[in-house]
Amino acid sequence: MRLTDYIGPEHIKLNLEGTDKQEVIEELVEHMSEHCGSCDADTILEAVMNRERDGSTGLEKGIAIPHAKCDAVDKLRIVVGISKEGVDFEAQDGQPSHLFFLMIAPSTESGPHVQAIAKIVKMIKVDGFRQKLLKAERPEQIIVAMERVENGEQ
């Protein structure tokens, strides 16, 4: 599985405007509903917020992977958002989150969803990767950075 098979430039939102967890999730869900085919934004938002109530998807090092499973999508869908200022996402390390990977998978699938989370966690450990994403001025730069990591380059 390659994340870049699921993420194109249109799936990336630079300069998120949300200032708290709820606003960021709403903004990412709206972006997904606009750019990922027919997705029911209300159903996705409800599923993601229910998942967040079980425990924050804010990891460490400025990364958050809000995700859920629901029947509002026909296959794994991913959007990426960047917040230069950072948002309190109740992360494991208590630091603000800057890089967001919203992921929705159909209720009937588990493989791609779990693989995608594992890939993201592995990518963020690569030296300089997070900084490249944060410095990106165009979505294409994020895609290039992701492809390089997926190809074993840096």
pLDDT tens digits along 50-96: 999 998 899 999 999 999 998 888 889 999 999 999 999 999 899 99
Partner residues linked to 68 by β-bridges: 104
**The pLDDT of residue 97:** 96
Give the CA count within 13 Å in the CB-facing half-sphere of 47. 20
The CA-atom distances, in angstroms, between 30 and each of 44, 45, 102, 109 are 9, 9, 11, 23
For the domain spanning 3-150, the CATH number is: 3.40.930.10
Task: Tell me the pLDDT band of 109, cut-offs 50, 70 and 90.
Answer: confident
Instruction: Give 120's DSSP letter.
Output: H
Would the pLDDT of 11 be above 90?
Answer: yes
Rounded to whole angstroms, the Cα distance separating 118 from 3 reads 10
What is the radius of gyration, based on Cα positions, of the chain?
Answer: 14
The pTM of the whole model exceeds 0.85: yes
Would the pLDDT of 108 be above 90?
Answer: no
Would the pLDDT of 46 be above 90?
Answer: yes
User: To the nearest whole percent, how much of the chain has pLDDT over 90?
Assistant: 66
**The pLDDT of residue 154:** 65
The CA-atom distances, in angstroms, between 75 and each of 50, 52, 103 are 20, 21, 10
Rounded to whole angstroms, the Cα distance separating 84 from 58 reads 16
Rounded to whole angstroms, the Cα distance separating 45 from 40 reads 9
Would the pLDDT of 34 be above 90?
Answer: no
